Structure 1
Amino acid sequence: MEDLKKRKLEESNNGENISEEQLRSLLDPLAKTQLVDLLSKFGCQYPSIAEEIKSVASADPANRKLFVRGLAWNTTTETLCAAFVEHGEIEEGAVITDKTSGKSRGYGFITYKDIDSTRKALEAPSKLIDGRMAVCTLACEGVSTTSSSDQAQRKLYIGGLSPETTSEMLLLFFKKHGDIEEGSVAYDKDTNKSRGFGFITYKTVESTKKAIDDPQKMLGGRSITVKLADNPKNKVVQAQVGIVPVHMAGYAESAKPHPHPNPNVGYTYPGVIPYHHQPPPAAPPLPYSIPPQMSYTQYTPRKESLGPSAAPPMGLANYPYYFNK
C-alpha cells in the first residue's frame, strides 16, 4: 500500500522531487485562510504534521498567553490563577496593578505551559471570579474592530441598583435572557461600595433585546433602568474648526490687478484677497484719464464790431495767446 502511494506521488511529480524553494514559491501567494485550510487538512490526515504544527505554535509564549478583563477590584493574582488552574498548569499569572496606588486595574494575564490548556480556557471564555463575570481572550489577538462594533449592541447599562445588590445577584437576574459574556456592579475603587449601576454584556444581540423589552424590571426591591450602554468609541468627536479663507466665485486669490470689464475706462482695480491680509485702503483712481494738453479753436474777433481797441471778452483776458493783436 505504501509502495502504491509512493509510486502515485512519483508519477504525479514526473519522477522529480519538489524542492523547498519551489514549495515556498507556491505557498507565498496563498492567503492566510488558504494556508490554514491546507495545513488543517494535512494535519488531520498525517499525525506527524499535526505534532509539528503544535510544536511550532507552543514555542511562542504569545500563543499560550491569555488576557483577562473585567476583574473585580479585590481580585488578586492568587485568586486569578486559582480560577484558571482547572484547565492546566500555569506558567505565569498576574493581576496588573497601578504603580502609584498599588490597586488593581481590572485586568490581568495567564500564561499556560501547554497550548492545549490555553485552547480549553478559550472554549469557555467567561468566568465568574470574585463575584464578577470576567472574560479571557488570546493576548496576541487583542480585540478586533468587528467584535467592538458588535459589543456596542450587546452591552447594557443597568441603573438604579440598590446598594445591597451584588454582582452575583445582577448576573443571576439577567441570566434568564441568555448567556452572559461579562457583567458586574460598578464599585468605587477607594471604598469598594456600589455606585448604583452596573453593566451586562450578552453573547448575542437577541438576548440584549429581550432584556430591554422585558417589562419586569424590579431588582432588589427597586425599579431599575435597562438600556444600551453608551460606548465612547461610537461617539463623534468634533474637531476644532479653524479660520478658513472665503473664496469669492469669479475672483482669483492673488493680488494681481484685473482689467475693468469696460474697455473705455482706463484704470484697473486690485484683486480680491482675504480681509485680514488686505493693506490699508488707498485713494481710488480717477474714472478718466487727463491728456497732457488741451487744444482749442483759435478765436478771432471781428474788428468791425469791436473796433481796433476792443478788449477781449470777459473771462478770456488771461489767454492773450489765442487772440489777434
Structure 2
Amino acid sequence: MGDEDARKLFLGGLPPAAQKEDVENYFKQFGEVEMVTIKTDVYTGRSRGFGFLIFKDKSSVAAAVESSRHTICDKDIEAKLATPQVKDGEMTKVFVGGIEKSTTSDQVKAAFSTRGTVTDVFMPVDNTTDQHKGFAFVTFDDSSLASTLCSEGKIIIEGKECDIKKAKSKNESRGGGRGGFRGGRGGFFPGKKVD
C-alpha cells in the first residue's frame, strides 16, 4: 500500500462533465497512468467533483504536483498527493446532525469546503421515504481540521445551525451492541461508524 500511496494523486474541483478519459488524457503528459477513479453520488450517479489517479511511477506524481496549474474540460482543478491511510487515533471524519431534509450532499460539501478539502460526504437515507435522515458523515483530508471543527461544534448549512461531533471509529464502535442508526426524527445514536 505504501508504494501505491506514493503514486496516488487526489483530484479536487473536477467539473461535472469530466470523464475518466478526460483525466487520463490530461495527466498522461506527466507519465503513464495506471488508474483513474471519479467519485460519484451513490443515489444520483453524478460526479462528486473529486477523484483519485494512480501513476505507474511515483516520479510522475512529483512532476504533476510541481505543475502550478491543471485544467480539465476548461476548468482549473486541484491536484495534490493523496493522503495516506489514516493511522488509528487520527480522526478525519465528523458527524453532522440537524440537517434540513431539503439539503443535498453537494450543499453540505460546499459548506465545509470553505474550511478545507472535503474528500467524502455520506448521508444515510431512510428506505421508507427515500429521504436522507437529517445527518451526514463528512470526511476531510486533514485530521487537524476535523478536530478543530469538532471543537467548534457548530456550522451553518443552508441557513440552519447544525451540530458537529466526532464520528465513532471502528474500534470505538465494537461492543456497542445494537448501537447505530434508528428511524424517527433525529435518529442518531453514537456507537457505529458508516463507511
**TM score, norm. by length of structure 1:** 0.32
The structure carrying a bigger strand percent of its residues is 2
Greater helix content: 1
Q: Which has the higher contact order (CA 8 A, sep 6+)?
A: 2
Look at both structures and tell me which one has the larger radius of gyration over its CA atoms.
1
